[in-house]
Amino acid sequence: MRWTLRALAVAGTAAAAVAVVTAPASAAACQVTNGSAAFGSVQAAVDAASAGDRLVISGTCTGGTVVTKDLTLAGSATGPNRPVLSGGNTVRVLGIEPQATVTLTDVIIRNGNAAAGSGGGGIQNSGSLKAVRVLVTGNRTTGAGGGILNLGDLVLTRSLVSSNRTPSDGGGIFNAGSLVTWSTDLKGNTAGGVGGGMFAEGIATMHGGLVTGNTAGDTGGGILTVNVLTLDNTRVVGNTPDDCVC
Q: End-to-end CA distance of the chain, in Å?
A: 18
pTM for this model (two decimals): 0.90
Say which DSSP state 90 is in: T
User: Regarding beta strands 173-175 and 244-245, do their DSSP bridges make them parallel or antiparallel, or are they unpaired?
Assistant: unpaired
Radius of gyration of the chain from Cα atoms? 17
Checking if the pLDDT of 11 tops 80, the result is no
Q: Render pLDDT for 121-140 as a digit per residue (tens, 0 to 9).
A: 999 999 999 999 999 999 99
Checking if the pLDDT of 24 tops 60, the result is no
Q: What is the pLDDT of residue 184?
A: 98
Q: Where are the domains of the chain?
A: 6-24+89-245
Q: Residue 136: what are its φ and ψ, rounded to 5°?
A: -110, 110
